[in-house]
Amino acid sequence: RDVLVLHGPNLNMLGMREPHLYGSDRLVDIDTRLQASANAAGLQLSTLQSNAEHVLIERIHQAYSDNTGFIIINPAAFTHTSVALRDALAAVKIPFIEVHLSNVHSREPFRHRSYFSDLAIGVICGLGAMGYELALQYAIRQLAGQTA
Ligand code: DQA
């Protein structure tokens, strides 16, 4: 079973976007490391970044029938706004971890609420790009324990 990594809006700007909050890695750096870790564990990993809600939703629908066993998602600003993206994850019932680079709880109050956290297996925030790596380690462990 494969792992899908989804990045929401403005994450294509990583590296230049508010590096004090989001770090200096570019998205391609993060995705490249995740690919290497997944491949080392014998898993297929696909990644998608989109600024468009419907593109993320349609990729989640596709995951229902493309052998995706685990999703790692940073919904970015959609975290705090998107019932539609939440409903897509609920519909496909694929286990997921919610990741944020920054500690959303130490920031503005509107970032404290997430439409995803109660559905997620777990939430990682404030650990920068390492949060994705840790989420992937969890996914690898989970998928290794499955036979089909
Ligand atoms: C973010 C936190 C969100 O509040 C923000 O809108 C983002 C990035 C993070 O990774 O820290 O775009 O999800």
pLDDT in tens, 10-65: 999 999 888 889 988 999 999 999 999 999 999 999 999 999 999 999 999 999 99
Provide the pLDDT confidence category of residue 145 given band limits of 50, 70 and 90.
confident
* CATH class of this structure's domain 2-144: alpha beta
Give the pLDDT score at 146.
80
Q: What is the pTM of this model?
A: 0.97
More confident residue, 21 or 145: 21
Residue 80 CA to ligand 1 centre (angstroms) = 9
Crossing angle between the packed helical segments 53-63 and 83-92, to the nearest 10 degrees = 10
Cα distances from 65 to residues 26, 58, 85, 94, 115, in angstroms, run 30, 12, 18, 11, 24
What six digits make up the tokens of 19?
């590096």
- Checking phi first, is residue 79 left (phi over 0); if not, alpha (psi -120 to 50) or beta? alpha
ipTM of the complex: 0.99
22 is catalytic: yes
Residue 62 CA to ligand 1 centre (angstroms) = 24
What phi and psi, each to the nearest 5 degrees, are found at residue 122? -160, 170
Query: Considering 100, 105, 115, 138, which one is annotated as catalytic?
Result: 100
Return the residue whose CA atom lies nearest to atom 6 of ligand 1.
Answer: 77
SS3 labels along 15-67: CCCCHHHHCCCCHHHHHHHHHHHHHHCCCCEEEEECCCHHHHHHHHHHHCCCC
- Is 105 known to sit in a ligand binding site? no
9 residue type, one letter: P
What six digits make up the tokens of 42?
């014998």
